[in-house]
Amino acid sequence: MSEKRSFPPLDLSVIQFPSDKLTLGQVRELDHSVNGADVFSSSDKLSDARATDIYSIIPIFNEMRLAEKAYAISLGLADPWPFVPRAEVVRLLHEQWKEDGISSGPHQSTQFIRNIEQAAVRQAKQQLGTGR
């Protein structure tokens, strides 16, 4: 019987995500509606907001999903988001980045996606001892 290797989780704090450039002021100006109410319209609404509400305002949740998928695949692990295909995450990011003014178009978005996945794969290679 072969021994199953375990790996530490992906360190998302060292990956530079395109949405990292958004300021809170820019996010507020986007005036996205979450569950029918703008979470930034009052302090009460913001204090009641769930993390999923905030993540739907900016693309960070999908950026993290993309990185986690790439990391798992590189290590031969199960997809951490099996019911959300990579193609759907990529489609959502293209839309979100364009809508939020992070990307000027599909070419820039494609490069952002490459950068995120490459950063995750580098971490995986370090875990496998094939980094650098």
Using CA atoms, how far residue 107 sits from 21, 97, 110, 114, in Å, is 18, 12, 5, 11
What confidence score (pLDDT) does residue 37 get?
58
Higher pLDDT, 53 or 59: 59
22: pLDDT strictly greater than 90:
no
Q: Kindly list the domain boundaries of the chain, sorted by start residue.
A: 20-57, 59-132
Average pLDDT, the chain: 84
pLDDT digits (tens, 9 = 90+) for 73-103: 999 999 999 999 999 999 999 999 998 889 9
CA distance 103 to 62: 15
Average pLDDT (36-59) is 68
